Amino acid sequence: SLPKTATIIEVGPRDGLQNEAKTVKTEDKLAFIHALQAAGLAEMELTSFVSPKWVPQMADAREIVDATKKMGRQLVLTPNERGINAASQAGADSIAVFVGVSNSFNQKNINKTTAQSTETLHPLIEKAKREGIYVRACISTAFYCPFEGAIEAQDTIDLCRQFVDWGVDELSVADTIGMANPQESYELFSSLKKHFPEILIAAHFHDTRRMALANSYAALLAGIDRFDASAGGLGGCPFAPGATGNVATEDLVHMFHRMGVETGVDLEKLFKAISLIEPHVSNSLQTGMYTLYKNR
Ligand code: HMG
Ligand code: MG
């Protein structure tokens, strides 16, 4: 049977905007973030503390954290000690670290092998946990890699195991290039629930092949009740060729509500939030529910 509620972790301000060709002004990001929060999206990846040479769109991370102090949890993405320190100095109480199951992808994304990344992150995570920081581990290329192809489920589970052993609060398991199918989603998330019953697990689907909604439903059937999603379907990883946006928050919320799975998100307010950011991004936003809203 389906859960009565599901939690959406909004990643639009981070995954959504990191890949934008145009520079989005800090004030426009903040208006978007505040409108998303007003729509009921209480958990959100606000920004990322990464090298501005690699990802210029996230260069204003400090200002974003400074201006969102009233939000409940301040969750920011970061790959290394420098970013974790900067996030903590800014006052963020939650961090999301990220690593790819695939070496080739991890090297393109953060210039380290997967093993080098985990070796570096291990003491940093234990330190963050001692300081009471909420830690989420984002596991990229959990199904497919743009360079290596199919990933063994066991490799994904083994990588997750390390982070669980180091005390992270949550895993976010990602189909980075939107290639997984619902059967694979059901199988991997069922086995993750079985291996890690004690920990929060979120599903992070990109919609490159329009399978993200079906994959989310399959994960829901596998017992997952946390989903990363991006308002307007914005997003993609700049270092994963072919990656497009995440599953659209509005489409996921609509589907869940139609099935009686509550999310606490107000769709009308969410449409308003999307219409605030749409003029500032390169592409017009074409998700199912948002297009219906625009054509009303
Ligand atoms: P590097 O060049 O190997 O390392 O980059 P470096 O230590 O030589 O740093 C390069 C420069 O960046 C230096 O500046 C550092 O000080 C600076 P310089 O001395 O040349 O002036 N630097 C930083 N600045 C700000 N904040 C930092 C930071 N770290 C170093 N934290 C590095 C290595 C990891 C820094 C780089 O590869 C990087 O920033 N990568 C980020 C890539 C990224 O953001 N990708 C997208 C997010 S992941 C994703 O989208 C997937 C996900 O959604 C799940 C999924 O869908 O799969 C999460
Ligand atoms: Mg992503």
Q: For 150-172, how does the pLDDT look when each residue is reduced to its tens digit (9 = 90+)? A: 999 999 999 999 999 999 999 99
Number of H helices, E strands in the chain: 12, 10
pLDDT given at position 70: 87
Interface predicted TM-score (ipTM) of this complex, two decimals: 0.98
Length of the chain: 296
- Catalytic residue, chosen from 138, 145, 160, 237, is 237
CB distance 29 to 59 below 8 Å: no
Which residue puts its alpha carbon closest to atom 11 of ligand 1? 51
Question: Could you give the CA distance from residue 154 to residue 174 in angstroms, rounded to a whole number?
Answer: 15
Q: Is the CB of 216 under 6 A from ligand 1?
A: no
Question: Could you give the CA distance from residue 74 to residue 164 in angstroms, rounded to a whole number?
Answer: 21
At position 57, the amino acid (one-letter code) is: Q
Residue 260: strand, helix, or coil: coil
Compute the distance from residue 109 Cα to the ligand 1 centre, in Å.
8
pLDDT given at position 237: 87
Q: What is the pLDDT of residues 17-50, one digit of tens each?
A: 999 988 999 999 999 999 999 999 999 999 999 9
Hey, which of 19, 47, 51 would you mutate to test ligand 1's pocket, going by the most ligand atoms within 8 Å of its Cβ? 51
Query: Of the candidates 98, 121, 129, which has an alpha carbon nearest to the alpha carbon of residue 14?
Result: 98
Q: Is the pTM of this model over 0.95?
A: yes
Which residue puts its alpha carbon closest to atom 31 of ligand 1? 83
Query: Of the candidates 135, 134, 152, which has an alpha carbon nearest to the alpha carbon of residue 143?
Result: 152
CB distance 39 to 266 below 8 Å: yes
Angle at 30 between CA 138 and CA 35, to 5 degrees: 90
Residue 170: strand, helix, or coil: strand
pLDDT given at position 235: 87
Q: Decide if pLDDT at 285 tops 90.
A: no
Compute the distance from residue 231 Cα to the ligand 2 centre, in Å.
13
Compute the distance from residue 47 Cα to the ligand 1 centre, in Å.
13
CB distance 285 to 232 below 8 Å: yes
What tokens does 70 get? 């009233």
Using CA atoms, how far residue 108 sits from 146, 165, 280, in Å, is 11, 26, 28
Q: What is the pLDDT of residues 258-272, one digit of tens each?
A: 999 999 999 999 999
CB distance 236 to 247 below 8 Å: no
Q: Is 145 considered catalytic here? A: no
Question: Could you give the CA distance from residue 275 to residue 285 in angstroms, rounded to a whole number?
Answer: 9
Which residue is associated with the tokens 């049977």? 1
CB distance 2 to 257 below 8 Å: no
What tokens does 246 get? 């995440």
Compute the distance from residue 16 Cα to the ligand 1 centre, in Å.
17
Which residue puts its alpha carbon closest to atom 10 of ligand 1? 51
Angle, helices 249-258 vs 267-277, to 10°: value is 170
